[in-house]
Amino acid sequence: MVSPLLILCFSLPLLLFFFFQSRRTFKKPPLPPSGPIGLPIIGNLHQLDSSALYLQLWQLSKKYGPLFSLQLGLRPAIVVSSPKLAKEVLKDHDLECCGRPKLLSHQKLSYKGLEIAFSTYGDIWREIKKICVVHVLSSRRVPMFSSIRQFEVKQMIKKISEHASSSKVTNLNEVVMSLTSTIICRIAFGRSYEDEGTERSRFHGMLNECQAMWGTFFFSDYIPFLGWIDKLRGLHARLERIFKESDKLYQEVIDEHMDPNRKIPEYEDIVDVLLRLKKQGSLSIDLTNDHIKAVLMNMLVAATDTTAATTVWAMTALLKNPRVMKKVQEEIRTLGGKKDFLDEDDIQKFPYFKAVIKETLRLYLPAPLLVQRETNEACIIDGYEIPAKTIIYVNAWAIHRDPKAWKDPEEFSPERFLDITIDLRGKDFELIPFGAGRRICPGMHMAIASLDLIVANLLNSFDWELPERMREEDIDTEMLPGITQHKKNPLYVLAKCRI
Protein backbone atom coordinates (compact mmCIF):
# COMPACT_ATOMS: atom_id res chain seq x y z
CA MET A 1 0.00 0.00 0.00
CA VAL A 2 1.28 3.50 -0.89
CA SER A 3 1.46 5.65 2.19
CA PRO A 4 -0.35 9.05 2.16
CA LEU A 5 2.95 10.65 3.14
CA LEU A 6 4.59 9.27 0.02
CA ILE A 7 1.74 10.60 -2.17
CA LEU A 8 2.11 14.01 -0.56
CA CYS A 9 5.89 13.97 -1.13
CA PHE A 10 5.44 13.24 -4.83
CA SER A 11 2.49 15.53 -5.46
CA LEU A 12 3.75 18.58 -3.52
CA PRO A 13 6.32 19.64 -6.14
CA LEU A 14 3.67 19.20 -8.83
CA LEU A 15 1.13 21.27 -6.89
CA LEU A 16 3.70 23.99 -6.31
CA PHE A 17 4.63 23.96 -10.01
CA PHE A 18 0.97 24.42 -11.09
CA PHE A 19 0.39 27.07 -8.43
CA PHE A 20 3.26 29.30 -9.64
CA GLN A 21 2.51 28.57 -13.29
CA SER A 22 -1.12 29.66 -12.85
CA ARG A 23 -0.01 32.79 -10.96
CA ARG A 24 2.25 33.66 -13.86
CA THR A 25 -0.54 32.99 -16.39
CA PHE A 26 -3.29 34.89 -14.56
CA LYS A 27 -1.08 37.64 -13.16
CA LYS A 28 -2.84 40.95 -13.61
CA PRO A 29 -1.09 43.03 -16.28
CA PRO A 30 0.63 46.14 -14.93
CA LEU A 31 -0.86 49.61 -15.13
CA PRO A 32 0.60 51.84 -17.87
CA PRO A 33 3.82 53.77 -17.17
CA SER A 34 3.19 56.96 -15.20
CA GLY A 35 3.77 60.41 -16.59
CA PRO A 36 4.99 63.26 -14.38
CA ILE A 37 4.49 62.86 -10.63
CA GLY A 38 1.41 64.72 -9.49
CA LEU A 39 0.05 65.98 -6.18
CA PRO A 40 -2.52 64.31 -3.94
CA ILE A 41 -6.14 64.93 -5.07
CA ILE A 42 -5.34 67.26 -7.97
CA GLY A 43 -2.93 64.80 -9.58
CA ASN A 44 -1.34 66.39 -12.67
CA LEU A 45 -3.95 69.10 -13.19
CA HIS A 46 -1.70 71.93 -12.00
CA GLN A 47 0.96 70.88 -14.54
CA LEU A 48 -1.29 70.93 -17.62
CA ASP A 49 -2.05 73.90 -19.83
CA SER A 50 -5.45 73.40 -21.47
CA SER A 51 -4.71 76.09 -24.09
CA ALA A 52 -2.02 73.98 -25.82
CA LEU A 53 -2.51 70.55 -24.30
CA TYR A 54 -1.59 68.66 -27.47
CA LEU A 55 1.85 70.39 -27.53
CA GLN A 56 2.47 69.70 -23.89
CA LEU A 57 1.41 66.05 -24.17
CA TRP A 58 3.66 65.73 -27.23
CA GLN A 59 6.65 66.96 -25.22
CA LEU A 60 5.74 64.63 -22.35
CA SER A 61 5.53 61.66 -24.72
CA LYS A 62 9.14 62.30 -25.73
CA LYS A 63 10.10 61.78 -22.09
CA TYR A 64 7.60 59.15 -20.90
CA GLY A 65 7.02 57.19 -24.12
CA PRO A 66 4.14 56.59 -26.53
CA LEU A 67 1.83 55.41 -23.74
CA PHE A 68 1.76 57.03 -20.32
CA SER A 69 -0.81 57.76 -17.67
CA LEU A 70 -1.91 60.97 -16.01
CA GLN A 71 -4.13 61.66 -13.05
CA LEU A 72 -6.63 64.41 -13.79
CA GLY A 73 -7.93 65.13 -10.31
CA LEU A 74 -9.84 62.00 -9.42
CA ARG A 75 -9.98 60.70 -13.01
CA PRO A 76 -7.33 58.47 -14.54
CA ALA A 77 -6.20 59.26 -18.10
CA ILE A 78 -3.81 57.84 -20.66
CA VAL A 79 -2.03 59.51 -23.56
CA VAL A 80 -1.34 57.61 -26.77
CA SER A 81 1.21 59.07 -29.19
CA SER A 82 2.23 56.47 -31.80
CA PRO A 83 0.49 55.01 -34.87
CA LYS A 84 0.80 51.47 -33.45
CA LEU A 85 -0.93 52.38 -30.18
CA ALA A 86 -3.53 54.52 -31.97
CA LYS A 87 -4.42 51.38 -33.93
CA GLU A 88 -4.77 49.41 -30.69
CA VAL A 89 -7.11 52.02 -29.20
CA LEU A 90 -9.11 53.02 -32.29
CA LYS A 91 -9.30 49.65 -34.05
CA ASP A 92 -8.32 46.58 -32.00
CA HIS A 93 -10.05 47.84 -28.82
CA ASP A 94 -12.51 50.20 -30.49
CA LEU A 95 -15.52 48.77 -28.64
CA GLU A 96 -13.95 49.19 -25.20
CA CYS A 97 -12.48 52.63 -26.05
CA CYS A 98 -15.35 54.34 -27.87
CA GLY A 99 -16.97 56.09 -24.90
CA ARG A 100 -16.86 59.85 -24.29
CA PRO A 101 -16.25 61.29 -20.82
CA LYS A 102 -19.21 63.20 -19.41
CA LEU A 103 -17.84 66.74 -19.08
CA LEU A 104 -20.00 69.56 -17.79
CA SER A 105 -19.75 71.91 -20.79
CA HIS A 106 -20.20 69.08 -23.30
CA GLN A 107 -23.21 67.77 -21.44
CA LYS A 108 -24.88 71.15 -21.02
CA LEU A 109 -24.54 72.30 -24.63
CA SER A 110 -25.43 68.87 -26.05
CA TYR A 111 -28.70 68.56 -24.06
CA LYS A 112 -27.03 65.85 -21.93
CA GLY A 113 -25.55 64.02 -24.91
CA LEU A 114 -28.66 63.70 -27.10
CA GLU A 115 -26.47 63.92 -30.23
CA ILE A 116 -23.47 62.21 -31.80
CA ALA A 117 -20.21 63.82 -30.65
CA PHE A 118 -20.57 63.92 -26.87
CA SER A 119 -23.05 61.11 -26.28
CA THR A 120 -21.95 57.88 -24.68
CA TYR A 121 -21.83 54.88 -26.99
CA GLY A 122 -25.33 53.41 -27.13
CA ASP A 123 -28.79 53.60 -28.71
CA ILE A 124 -29.04 57.41 -28.92
CA TRP A 125 -25.63 57.70 -30.58
CA ARG A 126 -26.43 54.85 -32.99
CA GLU A 127 -29.86 56.14 -34.09
CA ILE A 128 -28.93 59.82 -34.42
CA LYS A 129 -25.71 59.05 -36.24
CA LYS A 130 -27.54 56.74 -38.66
CA ILE A 131 -30.09 59.45 -39.50
CA CYS A 132 -27.41 62.11 -40.08
CA VAL A 133 -25.25 59.82 -42.18
CA VAL A 134 -28.09 58.43 -44.30
CA HIS A 135 -29.74 61.79 -44.99
CA VAL A 136 -26.86 64.26 -45.11
CA LEU A 137 -23.36 62.95 -44.59
CA SER A 138 -22.90 59.72 -46.59
CA SER A 139 -20.66 59.64 -49.69
CA ARG A 140 -23.88 59.20 -51.73
CA ARG A 141 -25.65 62.23 -50.22
CA VAL A 142 -22.72 64.67 -50.17
CA PRO A 143 -22.64 65.20 -54.00
CA MET A 144 -26.36 66.07 -53.87
CA PHE A 145 -25.49 69.31 -52.08
CA SER A 146 -22.80 70.35 -54.55
CA SER A 147 -24.98 73.10 -56.06
CA ILE A 148 -25.18 74.79 -52.61
CA ARG A 149 -21.41 74.54 -52.13
CA GLN A 150 -20.70 75.87 -55.62
CA PHE A 151 -23.11 78.79 -55.27
CA GLU A 152 -21.65 79.85 -51.94
CA VAL A 153 -18.02 79.46 -53.05
CA LYS A 154 -18.79 81.64 -56.09
CA GLN A 155 -20.23 84.26 -53.73
CA MET A 156 -17.02 84.18 -51.72
CA ILE A 157 -14.88 84.55 -54.86
CA LYS A 158 -17.01 87.55 -55.85
CA LYS A 159 -16.48 89.13 -52.41
CA ILE A 160 -12.68 88.64 -52.57
CA SER A 161 -12.61 89.96 -56.20
CA GLU A 162 -14.14 93.19 -54.89
CA HIS A 163 -11.34 93.43 -52.32
CA ALA A 164 -8.80 92.67 -55.06
CA SER A 165 -10.07 95.32 -57.44
CA SER A 166 -9.81 97.97 -54.73
CA SER A 167 -6.46 96.56 -53.47
CA LYS A 168 -8.07 95.92 -50.08
CA VAL A 169 -6.55 93.37 -47.72
CA THR A 170 -8.76 90.30 -47.11
CA ASN A 171 -9.18 88.78 -43.66
CA LEU A 172 -9.30 85.17 -44.81
CA ASN A 173 -10.42 83.80 -41.41
CA GLU A 174 -13.51 85.97 -41.50
CA VAL A 175 -14.42 85.29 -45.13
CA VAL A 176 -13.97 81.53 -44.82
CA MET A 177 -15.85 81.21 -41.49
CA SER A 178 -18.73 83.04 -43.01
CA LEU A 179 -18.67 80.70 -46.04
CA THR A 180 -18.50 77.41 -44.12
CA SER A 181 -21.26 78.43 -41.73
CA THR A 182 -23.51 79.42 -44.63
CA ILE A 183 -22.87 76.11 -46.40
CA ILE A 184 -23.70 73.99 -43.35
CA CYS A 185 -26.71 76.16 -42.37
CA ARG A 186 -28.16 75.74 -45.85
CA ILE A 187 -27.46 71.99 -46.01
CA ALA A 188 -28.51 71.13 -42.46
CA PHE A 189 -31.47 73.42 -41.99
CA GLY A 190 -32.16 75.23 -45.22
CA ARG A 191 -31.33 78.67 -43.89
CA SER A 192 -28.63 81.21 -44.55
CA TYR A 193 -27.74 83.69 -41.82
CA GLU A 194 -25.20 85.49 -43.92
CA ASP A 195 -27.67 87.95 -45.45
CA GLU A 196 -28.69 89.20 -42.04
CA GLY A 197 -25.95 91.25 -40.30
CA THR A 198 -27.02 90.93 -36.67
CA GLU A 199 -28.18 87.32 -37.12
CA ARG A 200 -24.79 86.48 -38.51
CA SER A 201 -22.81 87.99 -35.66
CA ARG A 202 -25.20 86.39 -33.16
CA PHE A 203 -24.56 83.04 -34.77
CA HIS A 204 -20.77 83.44 -34.90
CA GLY A 205 -20.71 84.80 -31.35
CA MET A 206 -22.53 81.67 -30.22
CA LEU A 207 -20.06 79.36 -31.99
CA ASN A 208 -17.11 81.21 -30.43
CA GLU A 209 -18.62 80.99 -26.97
CA CYS A 210 -19.23 77.22 -27.35
CA GLN A 211 -15.59 76.79 -28.40
CA ALA A 212 -14.41 78.86 -25.44
CA MET A 213 -16.45 76.77 -23.00
CA TRP A 214 -15.14 73.48 -24.42
CA GLY A 215 -11.61 74.78 -24.06
CA THR A 216 -12.17 75.80 -20.41
CA PHE A 217 -11.17 73.66 -17.46
CA PHE A 218 -14.00 72.93 -15.00
CA PHE A 219 -13.22 71.65 -11.50
CA SER A 220 -16.60 69.90 -11.50
CA ASP A 221 -15.31 67.48 -14.14
CA TYR A 222 -12.22 66.28 -12.30
CA ILE A 223 -12.67 67.07 -8.59
CA PRO A 224 -16.45 67.22 -8.17
CA PHE A 225 -16.33 68.33 -4.52
CA LEU A 226 -14.52 71.52 -5.67
CA GLY A 227 -17.20 72.23 -8.28
CA TRP A 228 -18.31 75.30 -6.28
CA ILE A 229 -15.12 77.05 -7.52
CA ASP A 230 -16.56 76.94 -11.07
CA LYS A 231 -19.63 78.78 -9.75
CA LEU A 232 -17.43 81.42 -8.09
CA ARG A 233 -15.54 81.86 -11.38
CA GLY A 234 -18.88 82.58 -13.08
CA LEU A 235 -18.55 79.57 -15.38
CA HIS A 236 -21.95 78.09 -14.59
CA ALA A 237 -23.66 81.39 -15.32
CA ARG A 238 -21.74 81.78 -18.59
CA LEU A 239 -22.60 78.23 -19.65
CA GLU A 240 -26.26 78.80 -18.82
CA ARG A 241 -26.29 82.03 -20.84
CA ILE A 242 -24.79 80.35 -23.93
CA PHE A 243 -27.17 77.45 -23.55
CA LYS A 244 -30.21 79.77 -23.43
CA GLU A 245 -29.03 81.78 -26.43
CA SER A 246 -28.35 78.76 -28.59
CA ASP A 247 -31.53 77.03 -27.45
CA LYS A 248 -33.52 80.07 -28.60
CA LEU A 249 -31.83 79.97 -32.00
CA TYR A 250 -32.49 76.23 -32.48
CA GLN A 251 -36.11 76.66 -31.37
CA GLU A 252 -36.56 79.35 -34.05
CA VAL A 253 -35.24 76.92 -36.66
CA ILE A 254 -37.68 74.22 -35.50
CA ASP A 255 -40.58 76.71 -35.50
CA GLU A 256 -39.72 77.77 -39.05
CA HIS A 257 -39.79 74.17 -40.18
CA MET A 258 -43.16 73.57 -38.51
CA ASP A 259 -44.74 76.67 -40.01
CA PRO A 260 -47.60 75.40 -42.25
CA ASN A 261 -47.01 78.36 -44.62
CA ARG A 262 -43.38 77.43 -45.17
CA LYS A 263 -42.39 77.13 -48.83
CA ILE A 264 -41.90 73.43 -49.70
CA PRO A 265 -38.12 73.02 -50.01
CA GLU A 266 -36.39 71.32 -52.94
CA TYR A 267 -35.01 68.64 -50.61
CA GLU A 268 -35.53 67.62 -46.99
CA ASP A 269 -32.89 69.04 -44.67
CA ILE A 270 -31.87 67.33 -41.42
CA VAL A 271 -34.53 69.21 -39.38
CA ASP A 272 -37.29 68.12 -41.80
CA VAL A 273 -36.10 64.53 -41.53
CA LEU A 274 -35.92 64.57 -37.73
CA LEU A 275 -39.35 66.22 -37.41
CA ARG A 276 -40.85 63.64 -39.77
CA LEU A 277 -39.29 60.74 -37.84
CA LYS A 278 -40.48 62.28 -34.57
CA LYS A 279 -44.05 62.41 -35.92
CA GLN A 280 -43.87 58.84 -37.23
CA GLY A 281 -42.48 57.58 -33.90
CA SER A 282 -40.70 54.83 -35.84
CA LEU A 283 -37.34 54.96 -34.07
CA SER A 284 -36.04 52.86 -31.21
CA ILE A 285 -35.60 56.08 -29.20
CA ASP A 286 -38.28 58.58 -28.28
CA LEU A 287 -37.20 61.57 -30.40
CA THR A 288 -37.83 64.99 -28.80
CA ASN A 289 -37.15 68.61 -29.76
CA ASP A 290 -34.08 68.45 -27.51
CA HIS A 291 -32.61 65.73 -29.73
CA ILE A 292 -33.20 67.94 -32.79
CA LYS A 293 -31.58 70.93 -31.10
CA ALA A 294 -28.60 68.85 -29.99
CA VAL A 295 -28.10 67.58 -33.55
CA LEU A 296 -28.22 71.15 -34.86
CA MET A 297 -25.52 72.13 -32.39
CA ASN A 298 -23.43 69.17 -33.51
CA MET A 299 -23.68 69.90 -37.21
CA LEU A 300 -23.00 73.62 -36.82
CA VAL A 301 -20.09 73.35 -34.47
CA ALA A 302 -18.44 70.27 -35.98
CA ALA A 303 -18.73 71.44 -39.58
CA THR A 304 -18.21 75.22 -39.49
CA ASP A 305 -15.07 75.55 -37.42
CA THR A 306 -13.15 72.52 -38.64
CA THR A 307 -13.58 73.22 -42.35
CA ALA A 308 -12.86 76.95 -41.96
CA ALA A 309 -9.80 76.34 -39.79
CA THR A 310 -8.36 73.80 -42.26
CA THR A 311 -8.87 76.17 -45.21
CA VAL A 312 -7.03 78.94 -43.39
CA TRP A 313 -4.22 76.53 -42.45
CA ALA A 314 -3.89 75.38 -46.07
CA MET A 315 -3.52 78.97 -47.28
CA THR A 316 -1.14 79.76 -44.39
CA ALA A 317 1.08 76.79 -45.27
CA LEU A 318 1.07 77.74 -48.97
CA LEU A 319 1.92 81.38 -48.29
CA LYS A 320 4.79 80.26 -46.10
CA ASN A 321 5.99 77.91 -48.86
CA PRO A 322 6.00 79.83 -52.16
CA ARG A 323 7.56 76.85 -54.00
CA VAL A 324 4.55 74.66 -53.17
CA MET A 325 2.11 77.52 -53.90
CA LYS A 326 3.61 77.98 -57.38
CA LYS A 327 3.59 74.25 -58.14
CA VAL A 328 0.00 73.67 -57.02
CA GLN A 329 -1.32 76.73 -58.86
CA GLU A 330 0.44 75.58 -62.03
CA GLU A 331 -1.18 72.16 -61.75
CA ILE A 332 -4.66 73.59 -61.14
CA ARG A 333 -4.42 76.13 -63.92
CA THR A 334 -2.96 73.70 -66.46
CA LEU A 335 -5.12 70.64 -65.76
CA GLY A 336 -8.18 72.76 -64.92
CA GLY A 337 -8.40 73.89 -68.54
CA LYS A 338 -8.28 77.59 -67.64
CA LYS A 339 -11.86 77.48 -66.37
CA ASP A 340 -13.13 80.47 -64.35
CA PHE A 341 -14.65 78.18 -61.76
CA LEU A 342 -13.58 74.64 -60.93
CA ASP A 343 -16.25 72.12 -59.99
CA GLU A 344 -15.93 69.07 -57.77
CA ASP A 345 -15.19 66.73 -60.73
CA ASP A 346 -12.35 68.94 -62.03
CA ILE A 347 -10.61 68.75 -58.67
CA GLN A 348 -10.36 64.95 -58.76
CA LYS A 349 -7.81 65.38 -61.61
CA PHE A 350 -5.31 67.29 -59.45
CA PRO A 351 -2.99 64.83 -57.61
CA TYR A 352 -0.63 67.48 -56.28
CA PHE A 353 -3.51 69.61 -55.00
CA LYS A 354 -4.94 66.54 -53.23
CA ALA A 355 -1.51 66.00 -51.67
CA VAL A 356 -1.50 69.63 -50.44
CA ILE A 357 -4.80 69.04 -48.62
CA LYS A 358 -3.45 65.84 -47.04
CA GLU A 359 -0.25 67.57 -45.98
CA THR A 360 -2.29 70.39 -44.44
CA LEU A 361 -4.35 67.88 -42.47
CA ARG A 362 -1.14 66.16 -41.38
CA LEU A 363 0.59 69.25 -40.01
CA TYR A 364 -2.32 71.53 -39.09
CA LEU A 365 -5.11 69.17 -38.15
CA PRO A 366 -7.99 71.10 -36.58
CA ALA A 367 -8.60 68.51 -33.83
CA PRO A 368 -5.06 67.58 -32.67
CA LEU A 369 -6.30 65.43 -29.77
CA LEU A 370 -9.29 64.14 -31.79
CA VAL A 371 -12.20 64.21 -29.31
CA GLN A 372 -11.41 62.71 -25.90
CA ARG A 373 -12.51 59.12 -25.48
CA GLU A 374 -13.22 57.07 -22.36
CA THR A 375 -12.97 53.33 -21.78
CA ASN A 376 -16.40 51.72 -21.41
CA GLU A 377 -14.76 48.74 -19.70
CA ALA A 378 -11.27 47.64 -18.69
CA CYS A 379 -8.99 46.53 -21.51
CA ILE A 380 -5.36 45.71 -22.22
CA ILE A 381 -3.41 48.15 -24.40
CA ASP A 382 0.19 47.34 -25.26
CA GLY A 383 0.24 44.77 -22.44
CA TYR A 384 -0.96 47.28 -19.82
CA GLU A 385 -4.26 47.19 -18.00
CA ILE A 386 -6.40 50.26 -18.69
CA PRO A 387 -9.21 50.42 -16.14
CA ALA A 388 -12.81 51.25 -17.06
CA LYS A 389 -13.68 54.99 -17.12
CA THR A 390 -10.15 56.04 -18.09
CA ILE A 391 -9.98 59.14 -20.30
CA ILE A 392 -8.00 58.54 -23.49
CA TYR A 393 -6.15 61.23 -25.40
CA VAL A 394 -5.03 60.08 -28.83
CA ASN A 395 -2.45 62.72 -29.70
CA ALA A 396 -2.80 62.86 -33.49
CA TRP A 397 -0.60 65.97 -33.49
CA ALA A 398 2.30 63.87 -32.13
CA ILE A 399 1.47 60.90 -34.39
CA HIS A 400 1.51 63.13 -37.49
CA ARG A 401 5.01 64.24 -36.48
CA ASP A 402 6.36 60.85 -35.44
CA PRO A 403 9.86 60.64 -37.01
CA LYS A 404 9.50 56.85 -37.21
CA ALA A 405 6.47 57.27 -39.47
CA TRP A 406 7.41 60.44 -41.39
CA LYS A 407 10.63 61.61 -43.03
CA ASP A 408 11.39 65.26 -42.10
CA PRO A 409 8.09 65.43 -40.23
CA GLU A 410 8.14 69.19 -39.62
CA GLU A 411 8.54 70.02 -43.29
CA PHE A 412 5.49 71.01 -45.36
CA SER A 413 6.12 68.71 -48.31
CA PRO A 414 3.04 67.48 -50.22
CA GLU A 415 5.39 65.46 -52.47
CA ARG A 416 5.54 62.80 -49.73
CA PHE A 417 2.00 61.74 -50.67
CA LEU A 418 2.68 61.33 -54.39
CA ASP A 419 4.54 58.03 -54.04
CA ILE A 420 2.71 56.49 -51.08
CA THR A 421 -0.89 55.45 -50.69
CA ILE A 422 -1.47 56.63 -47.12
CA ASP A 423 -5.09 57.59 -46.80
CA LEU A 424 -6.71 59.86 -44.23
CA ARG A 425 -9.98 57.96 -43.81
CA GLY A 426 -9.02 56.03 -40.67
CA LYS A 427 -7.27 53.02 -42.21
CA ASP A 428 -3.69 54.23 -41.92
CA PHE A 429 -2.93 55.13 -38.33
CA GLU A 430 -0.05 57.47 -39.07
CA LEU A 431 -2.58 59.91 -40.57
CA ILE A 432 -5.80 60.26 -38.58
CA PRO A 433 -7.11 63.86 -38.81
CA PHE A 434 -10.68 62.48 -38.79
CA GLY A 435 -10.03 59.87 -36.08
CA ALA A 436 -10.82 56.21 -36.77
CA GLY A 437 -13.08 53.35 -35.72
CA ARG A 438 -16.69 53.67 -34.60
CA ARG A 439 -16.33 57.33 -33.64
CA ILE A 440 -14.57 58.41 -36.82
CA CYS A 441 -15.81 61.78 -38.08
CA PRO A 442 -19.05 61.08 -39.97
CA GLY A 443 -18.70 64.46 -41.73
CA MET A 444 -15.46 63.44 -43.46
CA HIS A 445 -16.91 63.21 -47.01
CA MET A 446 -18.64 66.55 -46.64
CA ALA A 447 -15.51 68.13 -45.15
CA ILE A 448 -13.28 66.94 -48.00
CA ALA A 449 -15.78 68.03 -50.67
CA SER A 450 -15.99 71.53 -49.16
CA LEU A 451 -12.26 71.86 -48.52
CA ASP A 452 -11.39 70.79 -52.08
CA LEU A 453 -13.85 73.20 -53.65
CA ILE A 454 -12.94 76.21 -51.50
CA VAL A 455 -9.14 75.88 -51.60
CA ALA A 456 -8.95 74.91 -55.30
CA ASN A 457 -11.02 77.93 -56.33
CA LEU A 458 -9.09 80.31 -54.08
CA LEU A 459 -5.91 79.13 -55.82
CA ASN A 460 -7.44 79.16 -59.29
CA SER A 461 -9.02 82.59 -59.13
CA PHE A 462 -6.32 84.63 -57.44
CA ASP A 463 -2.61 85.14 -57.04
CA TRP A 464 -1.84 85.76 -53.40
CA GLU A 465 0.48 88.27 -51.82
CA LEU A 466 1.23 89.30 -48.28
CA PRO A 467 0.33 92.78 -47.06
CA GLU A 468 3.08 95.41 -47.30
CA ARG A 469 6.18 94.93 -45.15
CA MET A 470 5.21 91.36 -44.27
CA ARG A 471 7.48 88.44 -45.14
CA GLU A 472 6.72 84.71 -45.35
CA GLU A 473 8.54 84.06 -42.08
CA ASP A 474 6.35 86.66 -40.33
CA ILE A 475 3.25 84.52 -40.83
CA ASP A 476 2.70 82.87 -37.49
CA THR A 477 1.24 79.43 -36.85
CA GLU A 478 -0.01 80.09 -33.32
CA MET A 479 -3.26 78.40 -32.42
CA LEU A 480 -6.29 79.46 -30.41
CA PRO A 481 -7.32 77.22 -27.51
CA GLY A 482 -10.54 75.25 -27.99
CA ILE A 483 -11.75 71.91 -29.27
CA THR A 484 -10.93 73.08 -32.84
CA GLN A 485 -7.54 74.65 -33.43
CA HIS A 486 -7.98 77.93 -35.29
CA LYS A 487 -5.10 80.10 -36.35
CA LYS A 488 -4.78 82.57 -33.48
CA ASN A 489 -4.08 85.70 -35.54
CA PRO A 490 -6.22 86.20 -38.63
CA LEU A 491 -4.55 85.59 -41.98
CA TYR A 492 -4.52 88.91 -43.85
CA VAL A 493 -3.75 88.59 -47.56
CA LEU A 494 -3.82 90.61 -50.75
CA ALA A 495 -5.68 88.85 -53.55
CA LYS A 496 -4.80 89.69 -57.17
CA CYS A 497 -7.39 88.67 -59.73
CA ARG A 498 -6.00 86.21 -62.27
CA ILE A 499 -9.02 86.04 -64.53
Minimum distance from CB of 125 to ligand HEM (Å)? Answer: 6
**Among residues 38 and 482, whose Cβ is nearest to ligand HEM?**
482
Minimum distance from CB of 448 to ligand HEM (Å)? Answer: 8
The verdict on 182 binding ligand HEM (CB under 6 A) reads: no
Minimum distance from CB of 64 to ligand HEM (Å)? Answer: 23
**Among residues 136 and 235, whose Cβ is nearest to ligand HEM?**
136
Minimum distance from CB of 113 to ligand HEM (Å)? Answer: 10
Cβ atoms 32, 386 nearer than 8 A: yes
Minimum distance from CB of 285 to ligand HEM (Å)? Answer: 16
Cβ atoms 170, 156 nearer than 8 A: no
Q: Which of residues 251-280 bind ligand HEM (CB under 6 A)?
A: none
The verdict on 301 binding ligand HEM (CB under 6 A) reads: no
Q: Which of 172, 299, 386, 456 binds ligand HEM (CB under 6 A)?
A: 299
The verdict on 367 binding ligand HEM (CB under 6 A) reads: yes
Minimum distance from CB of 398 to ligand HEM (Å)? Answer: 14
The verdict on 454 binding ligand HEM (CB under 6 A) reads: no
Q: Which of residues 87-116 bind ligand HEM (CB under 6 A)?
A: 116
**Among residues 54 and 219, whose Cβ is nearest to ligand HEM?**
54
**Among residues 250 and 434, whose Cβ is nearest to ligand HEM?**
434
What phi and psi values does residue 33 have, to the nearest 5 degrees?
-55, 145
Minimum distance from CB of 444 to ligand HEM (Å)? Answer: 7
**Among residues 223 and 451, whose Cβ is nearest to ligand HEM?**
451
Is 132 annotated to bind ligand? no
Binding mask 371-410 for ligand HEM (x = CB under 6 A): x---------------------------------------
Binding mask 427-446 for ligand HEM (x = CB under 6 A): ------xxxx--xxxxx--x
Distance CA 313, CA 307 (A): 10
The verdict on 298 binding ligand HEM (CB under 6 A) reads: yes
Residues annotated within a binding site for heme? 441
User: Which positions touch ligand HEM (CB under 6 A)?
Assistant: 116-117, 129, 137, 298-299, 302-303, 306-307, 310, 365-367, 370-371, 433-436, 439-443, 446-447
